[in-house]
Chains A and B, each alone.
Chain A
């Protein structure tokens, strides 16, 4: 079965500290992987995406993620967290087209990040 697991429901870090958010997936084919961020009361904003090639991908707001096929993981990292990074983060996996070009995304349950000053 296709699934995405984000093991950490809540994470708290101090401002300026490094951050790693974990994401593990189960997907039968070559996956397309995404990280989204959601600020309170807002929709989801795309941080970065992985389709192929270099397994370390750079995104917006200073985030990066590394695809590790052997571990079925796509962890999100940031070297120095800012207070404005406090939000909820969602990992998602998708793949080949299904009917009519629709690429179904499967989302993890999210990790809520709090940042202490």
Chain B
């Protein structure tokens, strides 16, 4: 089974802090994704990566950056956390074939105070 592991289930940070969310997958997948999930809005794509050091913006990249230095690891960075970034963050990975599903981690619930 595909395993996508997010480093923290719950995280509380303060406004202005730099926040790192880590994600690791064990299936040698080419693609990795970061979403945020808010009630009534479903999942919104923040960034994705289709190879090491390659990244592209999703639908809501403002206030975020990402890093993919190794194939199995994809980090989401909040450069200066703000209260409107309080949300559930989900990481996912998929193989390079277009008809393959994305596999999700358990999520990180981030609160910015």
Contacts and interface: CB of A to CB of B under 8 A. Distances in A.
Interface residues on A, range: 20 to 34
Interface in B68-113: 90, 92, 94, 96-107, 109
Interface stretch (A62-70, A78-86, A94-102): A94-102
B42 A107 contact: yes
A99 B98 contact: no
A36 B96 CA distance: 20
B31 interface: yes
Contacts of A27: none
B101 A101 contact: no
A104 interface: yes
A107 to B, nearest CB: 4
B30 A44 contact: no
